[in-house]
Amino acid sequence: MIDLPASLPGGRPLGAHLPLADGMVRAVDRIADVGGGALQIFTDNPTSWRRREAPPADQPAFRDRLDARGVGPIAVHAPYIVNLAGPEEEIYRRSVELLASELAVAPGFGARFVNVHIGSHRGAGRETGIDRLAQGLDAALAMAPEAGPASPLVVLENSAGGGFAVGVTVEDLAEIADALAARRIGPDRVAFCLDTAHLWGAGYAIAEPDGVDDLLARVESLLGPGRVAMVHLNDSKAERGSRHDRHEHLGAGRIGASGLHRFLTHPTLAGVPHYLETPGMDEGYDALNVRNALRIGAGLPMEPIPPDALGARGSGGLTAPD
Ligand SMILES: [Zn+2]
Ligand SMILES: [Zn+2]
């Protein structure tokens, strides 16, 4: 019996997006108990514009437990409804306010990152979408509390490419970085997240080690070193290049273990926290995916995934982001 390694290669913290339905403090215990070390959460309902008035009562206990169990970094996933890249004024305005609100509450959750989808230009065109996004980020950062040592980074997530999405290719991400730089928004305020299932939907051949090498060489040369602050580590049920986004248990989808192994051992992403957004986090599959991430990282054979985990149903409703 080979011992499971305690961590991913290259000092990558391994976390998961866990629901807080059973209590925030229990979520910290859960990730530590199943062998993870980092956590992604929603601060509130991810499909609503409404935010609670005051922080949850157990927030101080949550922060204490993070310290006690050595869990971090914490990422906040912003609501899906945020779209800074679209032409509709009302949605844009509410998106700026909602992102500013997430930035304001994140430090209370001990969060270093506020992860947000790049959004959709809704037919207005890619250039217009990127301009709008940069303007929206500028506005949200201006509304958020002044930058300080506890300020969270905004982390923009690549898209699989469905529905007029912006931020599908590495070239798109580089163009966004340029648009931000033109507004004097630097790497200290905004970074990027690579979601492996989205890269796959966008057409990157990351099932093959060579495809991973090509992609990450592009990331390194176009975005520059250190610009990727987070990874969402997911397999995918979708076809490569389909622009669909359907997360799957690690090693059980179309990306598979060999591409994911290269991803988890590639020096470009050393030290970058990796968060699982795989199905069934509230049904015990968080533990299985943590163990398989550690196994895939170490090049060990995977633990088999029960056939009933691979049925039609994915994670239920609000428990995991897409
Ligand atoms: Zn993601
Ligand atoms: Zn997704």
Give the domain ranges of the chain: 9-304
Distance from C-alpha of 62 to C-alpha of 51, rounded to nearest angstrom:
19
Cα(106) to ligand 2 centroid in Å equals 22
Q: What is the mean pLDDT of the chain?
A: 95
Q: Average pLDDT, stretch 85-101? A: 97
Cα(117) to ligand 1 centroid in Å equals 8
Cα(93) to ligand 2 centroid in Å equals 24
- Secondary structure E strands in 118-214: 153-157, 190-195
Residue linked to tokens 């989205």: 198
Cα(322) to ligand 2 centroid in Å equals 3
Task: Give the ligand whose atoms come closest to the C-alpha of residue 322.
Answer: 2
Q: Average pLDDT, stretch 134-153? A: 92
Span 9-304: which CATH code? 3.20.20.150
Tens digit of each residue's pLDDT (9 = 90 or more) over 254-313: 999 999 999 999 999 999 999 999 999 999 999 999 999 999 999 999 999 998 888 655
Cα(275) to ligand 1 centroid in Å equals 8
Residue 1 confidence (pLDDT):
54
Question: What is the 8-class DSSP label of residue 145?
Answer: P
Task: Give the ligand whose atoms come closest to the C-alpha of residue 156.
Answer: 1
CA distances from 112 to 16, 41, 100, 232, 269 (A): 15, 12, 15, 15, 18
Nearest to 121 by CA among 132, 110, 109: 132
Cα(160) to ligand 2 centroid in Å equals 7
Task: Give the ligand whose atoms come closest to the C-alpha of residue 160.
Answer: 2
Where residue 23 falls (left for φ over 0; alpha for ψ -120 to 50; beta otherwise) is left
Tens digit of each residue's pLDDT (9 = 90 or more) over 187-226: 999 999 999 999 999 999 999 999 999 999 999 999 999 9
Cα(159) to ligand 2 centroid in Å equals 8
Residue 317, pLDDT above cutoff 60: no
Cα(12) to ligand 2 centroid in Å equals 20
Residue 315 confidence (pLDDT):
46
Q: What percentage of the chain reaches a pLDDT higher than 70?
A: 96
With beta carbons less than 8 A apart as the criterion, state whether 87 and 132 touch.
yes
The encoded tokens of residue 299 equal 């090049």
Q: What percentage of the chain reaches a pLDDT higher than 90?
A: 91
Cα(1) to ligand 1 centroid in Å equals 33
Distance from C-alpha of 237 to C-alpha of 246, rounded to nearest angstrom:
5
